[in-house]
Amino acid sequence: MRPANEALIVIDVQNDFCTGGALAVPGGEQIVPQINALLDEFQTRVLTQDWHPADHASFAVNHPGKQPHEVIEMPYGPQILWPAHCVQGTRGAEFHPDLDIAKADHIVQKGFRPEIDSYSAFFENDHETPTGLDDYLSARGIDHLTMVGLATDFCVLYSALDAARLGYAVTVIEGACRGIDLHGSLEDARQAMLDANIVLEP
């Protein structure tokens, strides 16, 4: 068992990010068995859930004439447009059926405000609206996070960078993550995490 100051953060292991899903990450479902094993090791286990309303501003379909992966300018900066995914209450938004969600202590839903996306488990994409996760963890004396999940180069990356910035020691287990890899974003993500002193474990 890991010590009480450590938590496992499982990012967005949801049907829409797995094979057959609306925003499928190649091999997304392959990480589920390893994550289930990790859930047994940690005393504090947090899941995040991408949880968008159907009219969410990150969906290309809500911007006439725009296609997925085009970038638009939002008040908080550039935003990549995505296929509609993880719509609240749909099967695509549910956790992968094999993920052992009964072992989680806390679930953070994010991206539920129509006008702002939220990649990070800690802040929305304006980098200042908090999700409450930092308070939850610091109230429990947690200062070390191990992160796994989907996608390595988006929600795992932004969660890990924010956690490092907030002062947590952060480890990302790359074998228990899968990436989208848009225009080399996976290699950029690895470099950004290394630059932030995040430990990358195989």
> Mind telling me the catalytic residues?
12, 110, 155
Which lies closer to ligand VGL via its Cβ, residue 38 or residue 151? 151
Q: How far apart are CA 198 and CA 61, in angstroms?
A: 35
Residue 61, CA atoms < 13 Å, CB-side half-sphere = 9
List binders of Zn ion among 47-66 (CB under 5 A).
Answer: 50
Q: 154 touches which of ligand VGL, Zn ion, none (CB within 5 to 8 A by kind)? A: ligand VGL
Binding mask 51-90 for ligand VGL (x = CB under 6 A): -------------------------------x--------
50 binds ligand VGL (CB under 6 A): yes
The whole-angstrom separation of Cα 174 and Cα 167 is 21
The CA dihedral of 123, 90, 36, 11, to the nearest 10 degrees, is -20
- The yes or no reply on residue 150 touching ligand VGL (CB under 6 A) is yes
Task: Give dist(CA 176, CA 39) in Å, integer.
Answer: 12
CB of 50 to ligand VGL, least distance (A): 5
Region binding ligand VGL by CB under 6 A among candidate stretches 34-42, 125-133, 149-157, 159-167? 149-157
DSSP single-letter state for residue 53: -
Residue of 96, 99, 94 whose CA lies nearest to 38: 99
**Under rule CB under 6 A, residue 155 binds ligand VGL:** yes
